[in-house]
Structure 1
Amino acid sequence: MRILFLEDEEAIRGFVRINLKRNGMEVTEAEDGETALALAKAAVPPFDIALLDVMLPTISGFEVCEQLRQLFPRMGIVMLTAKSQEEDKIRGLELGADDYVQKPFSPGELIARLHALKRRMMPYGEEQRAGVGGADGAAGGAAAEGTAETAEGAAGGRAEAGGTAPGQGGSAAEPRGAAPDAIGAGAGSASGPAGGAGGEAAADPAAADAPPSAGHRRPVRPGDIASGPFLLSASERRLWKDNVEIVLTPTEWTLVKLLMERDGEGLSRDDILNSVWGRHYVGDLKIVDVNIRRIRQKIEVRPSDPKHIETLWGYGYRWNRGDGQ
C-alpha cells in the first residue's frame, strides 16, 4: 500500500512513518501542500491513499483534498482532524475525503482505517485473496506503538483551525446508538436481489467489451447489478447511468453497491455505517449523510428532490431504481 502523508510537524511525521512502515506500507512524506500535490502528480502509479493533516502553513489540507479528488477520483483520502473541530470533519468529507481520524489517535486505529479503506478500493473478490483488513476494520498489525498524542507532545502540540462546513442536506444526523451486526452480505458481496449471480466476474478477454457509451449498454456480467438506468460492475468497481459512467470515490461506490443490493429496503444509518465502515468504526453518523449527499449530486437529476436514494426521516435511506430519471 503506497501512502502519501502530508504533515508539517516533523515529529508527528516520523512517528506515523515508523508505524506505517512496520506494517508493510510504503510512505512518501510532504511537509506542505504544494509538495504533496507535486508528488501526487508525479507518482506512477498513483498513490493508493493520501493521509492529510488539516492545519498547514500555506495551503490547507482541505485545499489539497479538493485538488486530489479532482485529479484522482479513485484515490483514497483520509483527513487528520482535531477532536474538538467538528466542522473540520464535515468539511473534509464534503470535499471528497473517504474518512477522518481524530487526534489524538493510536497507530493501531490509523492502520486499521487505512486497511479498511484499501479494502473498499479493491475489485470484488481480490480483497479476500489479498487478506487486506476486514470490513470491521481489523487491527492493522502488532507493530504499532504509542499514540499520536505522544508525537504531538514531542512537537509541542498545536490546535487545528477549522473552516465552516457547508449546510447539511438530507436528514439530520443522530447520535449513534448500539450498533447492530453488519447487515446482509455487506460491502464485499456481489450478490443481491438485483445482482443476478453472485461471485466475481469471469476473466474472459472475449467478453471484455468496451465501456458503455451512448447507444451501447455493456452486457451484464456475473457480479454486476442492473437497476433501472444503472449498471454497477463489482469486478471493475464502476457505475454507469444511462450508459454514461459516474465516477465515484471508493467509499461512495461501496455505499451505492450496498443500497442497490437491498433495492427497496430501508437501511438505517447504523446499518450503513456498519456495512461500509465496519462495526468497530469510531466516528459520527454524519459521515453517512455527507456521503449520501455527495452521491446524490452525481446520480440525481435534481439532488434536492432525489428519486433514487430516498430519505427515510429519522431512520436512514432506501434505494429506488426509479424510472430512468
Structure 2
Amino acid sequence: MPKTILVVEDEQAIREFVIINLKRAGYEVLEAETGETAIKLYDTHADEICVALLDIMMPGMDGFAVCRKLREKSKTVGIIMLTARTQEMDKVGGLMIGADDYVTKPFSPSELVARVDALYRRLNLDAGGANDEHGIVSGDFVLNTKSRTFYRHGQPIELTQMEYQIIKFFMENPNAALSRGDILNHVWGEDYFGELKIVDVNIRRLRMKVEEDPSHPRHILTVWGFGYKWSKGETV
C-alpha cells in the first residue's frame, strides 16, 4: 500500500513541524498551503496518497470543503482533520462529512504520528481484502467482503473505510450488544488516542445511510448506557 501523506496546512511553521515528524516516522509527504492546491495534488497523486491531514481553518477552500471533495473522489483515502478550535461542532462536522479522525491543536509529535499510524494500519489491513467471497447476508442487507460493497435491496450504499469496518463488525455479531469501547478498539485500534464520541458520530452518519428513518432506527439500535447492536430490522 502507498505510504504518502498529503498535508494541507496554511501555516508554514505548523506544516513544516508536521512534515518533519511524518518523514521521521517513515512516510513520504506531499504538502499544500491551500485547499485548491490540495485538490490538484490529489488528482495528480491519487494512487500514492493513503492519508490526508486537513487543517480546517484556511483561506479560500477550507478543510471541510477539501474533505467533501476528497470523499467525492475516494471512499478509501484516510482523512484526519486538524483544528485549533475546541468546539464540538468542528469535530462532529468533520466526521459527519466523511473524515475518519481529528486532532486538536496543539498536538504532540507522538500523538499525531500515532493517529496517522493507526489509520494507516487499518487502511492497510482493509486493502488486503477478505476471503469470504459470498459476504454476509442480514435481512435486506448484503455485505460483500471480497469486493467491499454494501447493498440494501440490491442497491449499493457507499461507505467510508471506517463505516465499512463498523458495519462488518455489526453484521459479524448480529444482535450482540457491542460497547463503544469494543467498537473503538476493533475499528480504530487498541492504541487509539482519541475519544469515544467518534463512535457515536460515525453511528449517526451510518444511520443516515442505512435507516429509512434515522431518528427511529430499526437496524443500528442503541443499547442505552452501553453501546449499539445490529438487527435485521425488528421493530424497536
Structure 1 length normalisation: TM-score? 0.66
Structure 2 partner of 1:103: 105
Query: Are residue 221 (structure 1) and residue 133 (structure 2) matched?
Result: yes
Q: Is 1:282 aligned with 2:193?
A: yes
Counterpart residue identity of residue 200, structure 2: D
Higher relative contact order (CA 8 A, sep 6+): 1
2:212 aligned with 1:301, yes or no?
yes
Q: Distance in 1 between matches of 2:191 and 2:120?
A: 16
Which residue identity is paired with 1:227? S
Work out whether 1:80 is the aligned partner of 2:76: no
Separation (CA, whole Å) in 2 of partners of 1:60 and 1:235 = 35
Bigger shift: 15-24 or 255-264? 15-24
Q: Counterparts of 1:282 and 1:113 in 2: how far apart (Å)?
A: 7
Q: Any residues of structure 2 matched to 1:33-112 within 5 Å, and which?
A: 33-45=35-47, 47-82=49-84, 84-112=86-114
- The answer to whether the 8 A contact 2:118-2:191 is kept is no
Shift of 1:24: 2.2
**Is the helix fraction higher in 1 or 2?**
2
Q: Secondary structure at the match of 1:70?
A: helix
Count of residues in Structure 1 that have an aligned counterpart in Structure 2: 232
Aligned-partner SS, 2:30: strand
Q: Which amino acid aligns with 1:221?
A: E
Contact in 1 for aligned 2:114/2:192 (Cα 8 Å): no
Aligned counterpart, 1:314: 225
One-letter amino acid matched to 1:120: R
Question: SS of the residue aligned with 2:49?
Answer: coil
Distance 1:258 1:120, change over 3 A: same
Q: Does 1:5 align with 2:15?
A: no
The aligned residue for residue 160 of structure 2 is 249
Secondary structure of 1:48's counterpart equals strand
Aligned-residue offset at 1:44? 4.1
Q: Is the 8 A contact 2:111 2:193 kept in 1?
A: no
Q: CA deviation at 1:82?
A: 2.6
Q: 1:46 to 1:71 in 2, by over 3 A?
A: farther
What is the Cα deviation at residue 87 of structure 1?
Answer: 2.4
8 Å contact kept, 1:123–1:235: no
Distance 2:33 2:88 in 1: 24
Identity %: 51
Give, in angstroms, the shift of residue 235 of structure 1: 3.5
Cα drift, residue 95 of structure 1: 1.4
Shift of residue 73, structure 1, vs aligned partner: 2.0
Which contiguous aligned blocks of 4+ residues in structure 1 show a shift greater than 6 angstroms? none
Q: What amino acid sits opposite 1:81 in the alignment?
A: T
How large is the Cα RMSD of the aligned pairs?
2.1
The alpha carbon displacement at 1:123 in A equals: 5.2
1:265 to 169, 176, 201: 176
105 and 252 in structure 1: CA distance in 2 versus 1, 3 angstrom threshold: same
Measured in 2, the distance between the counterparts of 1:246 and 1:47 equals 24
Structure 2 length normalisation: TM-score?
A: 0.89
Contact 1:123 1:236 in 2 (8 A): no
Residues 44/279 of structure 1: CA separation in 2 closer, same or farther (3 Å cut)? closer
Structure 1 distance, partners of 2:159, 2:222, is 20
The 1-side partners of 2:199 and 2:225 are apart by 13
Residue 20 of structure 2 is matched in structure 1 by 18
Q: For the structure 1 residues 234 and 106, does the alpha-carbon distance in structure 2 shift closer, same or farther, using more than 3 Å as the test?
A: farther
Q: Could you say which structure has the larger radius of gyration?
A: 1
Partner of 1:173: none
Q: Give distance in 1, aligned partners of 2:50 and 2:216.
A: 34
| Deviation sequence 1:109-153 (CA, Å, 0-9, x none) | 2222222212322355839xxxxxxxxxxxxxxxxxxxxxxxxxx
